[in-house]
Structures are given as C-alpha cells and as structure tokens.
Amino acid sequence: MEQKLTHFDDNGNAVMVDVTDKKITQRTAVARGCIRVNEEVFRRILEGSIEKGDVLGVARIAGIMGVKRTSDLIPLCHPLMLSKSSIEFQLEETTKVITAECTCKLEGKTGVEMEALTGVTVALLTIYDMCKALDKGMEIFGVHLVKKTGGKSGEYERSV
C-alpha cells in the first residue's frame, strides 16, 4: 500500500502536518555521519592542538544547538520540547574518519528524526569549519538515520 505524504493539502499546497489528534509517545531517533580528514588534522584533533580550540567539544555543542534550531532550518518542522540531545564521536585512526552520532529523545506527538539528522550534520560541519585551514579536502559522508522509536509508524532500524 502506498503511503500518503502528509506535507501537502488536497490542492498540492505545502502545509505543516496536523498532529493534533496524534498520541503522545516516547520517541527516540539516532543519526550518524562521518568526516574523513587528512593525517595532520586527525593527529592534531587527538592532540588538542588545533588553534581554534577543542574541535570535538565545540562540534558537540554546535550539534546540540543545531538540534534545538531544526524547526528554524527545515520548513514545516514542528518546534519540539526535547528531553535529550547528545552527540558522541568515534575516531578511526587507520582511515582518518571521525564518526558522529546524535541521539534525540522526547515525549510528544511528532518524531525527532530531523533533529537527529540536523544535529549530526551540524557537528560534522563544525569539524570542517574548525579544521579547514589545514585540510580543505575533508569529506562529509554517510549521514543517515540509524534508528527511531515511537509514534504511529513504530520502530525503524537501518539494516545496512
């Protein structure tokens, strides 16, 4: 069965989804993405010797701030009262890849997938911004929803 898109009215006009009659449920979303950097950037992030400061600390705060501003950035997103937002990083020395993961939670009538995706993207962009003087060829890739829980559509977990 084909699912109806709810961001358009019967005349094809873009509208904010009406969540008035939806049930309040606990909702969680986890998103992940990566940035590949050069050897020097990777080493200096580990050493804490980037001139602009603590790259991962600043990227964590930027990602959380991005989560909170999602409805200002993505048209028709509902402003949400989040109960949790976190950003974690994993560094893979052999590939020089930094993976960011954003988790968002709330009790509400709409999901937090867009917030998690925004948070991880802003965190990765912040790493790029803080390190671009040393490596303009950094590559942001693989931003995706890992899993989500709650709501009418239930649970989703990416299989790949």
Residues β-bridged to residue 107: 26
Among this protein's residues, is 129 annotated catalytic?
A: yes
Residue of 10, 21, 72, 129 marked active site:
129
Distance CA 14, CA 116 (A): 23
Contact of 114 with 79, CB cutoff 8 Å: no
For the chain, what is the radius of gyration of the CA atoms?
18
In a 3-state reduction of DSSP, which class is residue 51?
coil
What is the C-alpha to C-alpha distance for residues 6 and 18, in angstroms, rounded to an integer?
Answer: 9
List residues with catalytic annotation: 129
